[in-house]
Structure 1
Amino acid sequence: MAAKPNELEIVRVYDAPVKLVWEAFTDLKHQVNWWGPRGFTITTKSKDLRPGGKWIYTMHGPDGVDYPNIATYHEVVPYERLVYDHGGNEERQKLFTVTVTFKEELGKTIMVMLMALDTPEAAKEIKKFIKIANGNSTWDRLGEYLEHEITGKDPFIINRTFDAPQAKVFEMWTDVKHLSKWLPPKGFNMELISGDIKTGKTAFYSMSNGEFTMYGKSHYLDINPITRIMFTQEFADKDGNPAKHPGAPTWPSQMISTVEFATEGPNLTRVTLKTEVHGQATAEERKAFHDEKSGMMMGWTGSFDKLEELI
């Protein structure tokens, strides 16, 4: 069912059973590890998970600012449905009411979240605020936490929904004339030096801002039309030989990324990118990857903003 004009919808598919997703979403021993945008932590004063109960907590921003919150629960149906008011505290009323449903299919959990506001205008304003505050990274952090709980791995995950058909969004990732326009950091141009974006092929490319040039390679392990791309990445020198990150000597030598494309609604496509350290890596390199997740989020957000403009 499509969201109403006064509602915002978020859909996530987690590779985890519904029992674990529900517990991660509702149990404080889990929530403390992921709740809030990247860089945030939380402190709970009290939590009463039942209709009429409240969760009183404070979110601590990376800039040192505290954000008191009181969530009031209206419906609690274990493993299926949760309804609560969000964004209120002792000094202000709720910002919106959240309805979250959880459904397990083939071992994965589909989480659908509807945020209902008083008016369509209020919904538009909250949508802008959530983007500025990187609010949706909360649900990416949940995905990372769930994967760590199940596999012990430490991935970076980011999602974005684009207003375009799935085939079109997929094309923007696999046609270099499109990819080169949105993937590079702001102020950089991308050029394919050799290779191709095809299964089994390696793309050797450069990114330059006129004063500084860096080189990289992406080896495409699997390209499944309009649904999935898997590739490894590594930095290289101008001759295509393996090299370390030009600005971070402790960065892992190789990473592996999986990009999944899914239709989310009429003319809407959700892209889910997961990147992990690949191959042999030291503890120092793995820590560097973990500590730079906020930076990766900002980099990919900038690229996705450019992609959004193109399509």
Structure 2
Amino acid sequence: MTVTHATFTLERTYNTPPARVFDAWADPAAKARWFGGETHELDFRTGGREVTTGTAPNGNKLEASSTYHDIIPDERIVYSTTLTGGDTLATLSTTTIELLPDAGGTRLVLTEQGTFLDGAEEPAWREQGTSAWLDKLGEELK
């Protein structure tokens, strides 16, 4: 039984105002396009939930379930997430998204603090996956 704690920060600059970046996060149809998953449900409000499902390479069902704790329109989003593979809890994390005005665009700063259990997921895998969906968000905003 192992527990690994990790924190990472990713930054992206998008050539669009913070309100547009925030809307791409808040709108269920837009979020489903860039975030991915086999199924995606979003109740974007403080106390609301987001559930995304998929299938791991080994065939296990994956479920990411998030709860939104703090939402300040066009400025900040804070949520916690559990990731399960089959019936096994793989990770628990807290993520903060900051949307900062930057020369007519937006600098997005994402910081994630995670607890990774029993090698079911590695911090580097999470960082790589998160980086990929931030790139997809950039495509959505074009």
Scaled by the length of structure 2, the TM-score of the pair is: 0.76
Shift of 1:73: 1.0
Q: Which residue of 1 aligns with 2:101?
A: 104
Q: Distance in 2 between matches of 1:14 and 1:139?
A: 10
Q: How far apart in 2 are the matches of 1:134 and 1:79?
A: 24
Give the secondary-structure state (helix, strand or coil) at the position aligned to 1:117.
strand
Aligned pairs for 1:147-296 within 5 A = 147=142
| Aligned positions of 1:40-189 closer than 5 A | 41-44=37-40, 46-59=41-54, 66-89=61-84, 91=87, 92=89, 94-118=91-115, 125-126=122-123, 128-130=124-126, 134-147=129-142
- State the secondary structure of the residue aligned to 2:33: coil
Structure 2 spans left out of the alignment, 5+ residues: none
Equivalent residue of 2:35, what SS? coil
Cα deviation for residue 67 of structure 1 reads 2.0
Q: Which residue is equivalent to 1:249?
A: none
Of all paired residues, the percent bearing the same amino acid is 27
- Could you report, residue by residue, the CA deviation over 1:149-186 in whole angstroms, capped at 9, with x for unpaired residues? xxxxxxxxxxxxxxxxxxxxxxxxxxxxxxxxxxxxxx
Contact map agreement 1:35 1:42 (CA 8 A) in 2: no
Return the alpha-carbon distance in structure 1 between the equivalents of residues 44 and 115 of structure 2.
25
Bigger relative contact order (CA 8 A; separation at least 6): 2
The answer to whether the Cα contact below 8 Å between 1:85 and 1:94 also exists between their aligned partners in 2 is: no
Q: Structure 1 pair 27/88, CA: closer, same or farther in 2 (3 Å)?
A: same
CA contact (8 A) 1:100 1:113 kept: yes
* Partner deviation per Cα, 1:33-81 (whole Å, 9 max, x = no partner): 1114xxxx4412x432222221122135699764212101111111111
| Counterpart AA for 2:125 | F
Amino acid in structure 1 at the alignment position of 2:35: W
Cα distance between partner residues in 2 of 1:66 and 1:18: 34
5+ residue gaps, structure 1, are: 148-311
Return the alpha-carbon distance in structure 2 between the equivalents of residues 32 and 60 of structure 1. 16
Residue 9 of structure 1 corresponds to which residue in structure 2? Answer: 9
Counterpart of 1:129, as a letter, is: W
Separation in 2, partners of 1:14, 1:50: 23
- Give the AA of the match of 2:132: S
Specify whether residues 98 and 62 from structure 1 end up closer, same or farther in structure 2 by C-alpha distance, changes over 3 A only. Answer: same
**Matched position secondary structure for 1:144:** helix
> How many matched pairs?
132
| Structure 2 counterpart of 1:34, one-letter code | W
What SS does the corresponding residue of 1:87 show, helix, strand or coil?
strand
Moved more, 49-58 or 73-82: 49-58
Q: Distance in 1 between matches of 2:74 and 2:25?
A: 10
* 1:95–1:118 distance in 2 versus 1, CA, 3 Å: closer
One-letter code aligned to 1:116: Q
